[in-house]
Amino acid sequence: MGRYANHRRRLEKKLGRKLREDEECHHRDHNPLNGNPDNLEAMIIKEHKIETFKGKNALRLYRKKKGV
């Protein structure tokens, strides 16, 4: 079983239900290696993509500002 399925299973156990088709497993600390159930939350796919983009965009702006 891959890491993705394992984290999804941990989140489903925490929630006491299966994730809906429109939900994904989100890592609160944005670290995909951290599968601690306290770090996982269900998020609507569209919202998850927006949240991920905001994080990547913020990192890109930070690097541009620092000249990295």
Q: How many CB atoms lie within 10 A of CB 14?
A: 13
Supply the DSSP symbol for 37.
Answer: G
- Cα separation of 62 and 36, whole Å? 28
Written as six digits, the tokens of 16 are 């006491």
Owning domain of residue 55: 3-66
- Whose tokens are 């939900």? That residue is 23
Q: What is the pLDDT of residue 12?
A: 97
Q: What is the pLDDT of residue 62?
A: 58
The string of pLDDT tens digits covering residues 11-66 is 999 999 999 999 999 988 888 889 999 999 999 988 888 777 776 666 566 566 66
The phi and psi torsions of 7 (rounded to 5 degrees) equal -65, -40
Counting the structural domains of the chain, the total is 1
